[in-house]
Structure 1
């Protein structure tokens, strides 16, 4: 995900408003009819939203004040259902023409986003009050690893064991490559997140296969990178992300949306 453009706090509020059935408003131009709240009652209370997020993740605090999601939380249970369906779908694909090579000679692959798909940003989000900035994010990654999203390390490792190549496509900047590799390795992802399998956003020197260059939207960047992966002889049998922008644009046989009520990215 590319997260530097928009305020996390306003996006968290907008997403929560949609979830609660309130009026969805926030980034972008407002329309006079339905986007601008007419009353404070149309806006979810920020404290209540944060408390709901904590309850959903099963907020657990260690002795040093770090926040973690609980393995018996609603979040973890929702993930488990999605991952079980994904594993079944991937196994079916591998049994029906997508073994080491499919009928067209393409190798099976899966694509994972990083933040809140492979690793969980929950503690960071609470530290910064859901207000992402590049500086605070970099400072966090300089000193801490984010834990694996429950079950995703096991699912990725299982797929790799079936002969599926694992790729990551993230909106993190190229400057965070070393931090991202360290974190993925540290929390149990066995597939190598090397330069051939981990794609980060390089605005200074965008790859030639992205016709939009440094102006790509998230959808253009991610779908264009998936198209590039498939051009290398792979069939992406599963694409995983916590944002719809991680999944839109094609170039994947199946897509799997992971839950994330903390922010929304177009």
Structure 2
């Protein structure tokens, strides 16, 4: 989360359900959307039930004894993520051989890049609510996105420093760090985990408490570079996780569940 930046999230299903867009915002909802063309007939809108079923099929929806939903390791989603990780590891290996002695780093977004929010999305029918999201993060352990914890561990063993940059609020630091540790990620302490702090924004972000996702994430990467690190790869599930530079290469993790501008 994406990470999930509060008040700045546009859901796939919200966009589909409303279908009326004015000046880049869904009428009545205020959510930013990627497409500003209003459908002329209902046949131009994907049926919501069909869309949910497609998402479930893509993730290989599996239900456990408690009724909670999890992606399948044999799903097309898992296979697509594995292909991206394979390319990334090859690139990181090549850079490790040629950049000996440099302070190399990789940056990972958290929600749906490092940790999977799939079960939360199903529980809320893809409608984000900051209260329910905070409660979920405080009480449940989200699984790692397939293979990303292994990639991060491998990168660390190859001399890369692993940083996490998330749009989650500062108040969720302890829960986020504990979840990452529980599913096998490298240490996400105060020097390696960056969260959004609207109450006391860091001095290195000129936009302060009004940063867009792109400004916050690219500005934080610039700060990491100012500490002497070369960010070799940046991983995110949203284009806004990856825009703004300050990384040699970017890797987009698939996420058809929501959109963060």
TM-score with structure 1 setting the length: 0.89
1:144-203 Cα offsets, whole Å, 9 max, x none, are: 1100000000000000001100000000000000110110000111x2100000000000
Any residues of structure 2 matched to 1:64-213 within 5 Å, and which?
A: 64-96=66-98, 98-101=99-102, 107-189=103-185, 191-213=186-208
Cα distance in structure 1, aligned partners of 2:211 and 2:14: 26
1:44-83 Cα offsets, whole Å, 9 max, x none, are: 1110000000000000000100101000000000000000
Cα distance in structure 2, aligned partners of 1:185 and 1:227: 25
1:91-134 Cα offsets, whole Å, 9 max, x none, are: 111111x2342xxxxx0000000000000000000001111111
- Residue aligned with 1:110, SS: strand
Kept after mapping to 2: 8 A contact 1:7/1:131? no
Could you tell me which runs of 5 or more consecutive residues in structure 2 were left unpaired when the two chains were aligned. 27-34
Could you tell me which runs of 5 or more consecutive residues in structure 1 were left unpaired when the two chains were aligned. 18-22, 102-106
Q: Given the superposition, is the C-alpha separation of residues 140 and 27 from structure 1 closer, same or farther in structure 2, using an over 3 Å criterion?
A: farther
Cα-Cα RMSD: 2.1
Kept after mapping to 1: 8 A contact 2:10/2:260? no
Aligned to 1:225, which of 215, 220, 228?
A: 220
Aligned match of 1:47: 49
Cα distance in structure 2, aligned partners of 1:162 and 1:172: 28
Cα distance in structure 2, aligned partners of 1:138 and 1:246: 21
- Residue aligned with 2:107, SS: strand
1:194-225 Cα offsets, whole Å, 9 max, x none, are: 00000000000000000000010000000000
Q: Given the superposition, is the C-alpha separation of residues 201 and 71 from structure 1 closer, same or farther in structure 2, using an over 3 Å criterion?
A: same
Cα distance in structure 2, aligned partners of 1:78 and 1:48: 21
Q: Given the superposition, is the C-alpha separation of residues 184 and 27 from structure 1 closer, same or farther in structure 2, using an over 3 Å criterion?
A: farther
TM-score with structure 2 setting the length: 0.91
1:22-45 Cα offsets, whole Å, 9 max, x none, are: x99688248xx9611111111111
Kept after mapping to 1: 8 A contact 2:237/2:255? yes
Kept after mapping to 2: 8 A contact 1:111/1:240? yes
1:204-260 Cα offsets, whole Å, 9 max, x none, are: 000000000001000000000000000000000000000000000000000000000
- Residue aligned with 2:258, SS: coil
Aligned match of 1:35: 37
Q: How many residues align?
A: 251
Cα distance in structure 1, aligned partners of 2:205 and 2:179: 27
Cα distance in structure 1, aligned partners of 2:182 and 2:167: 20
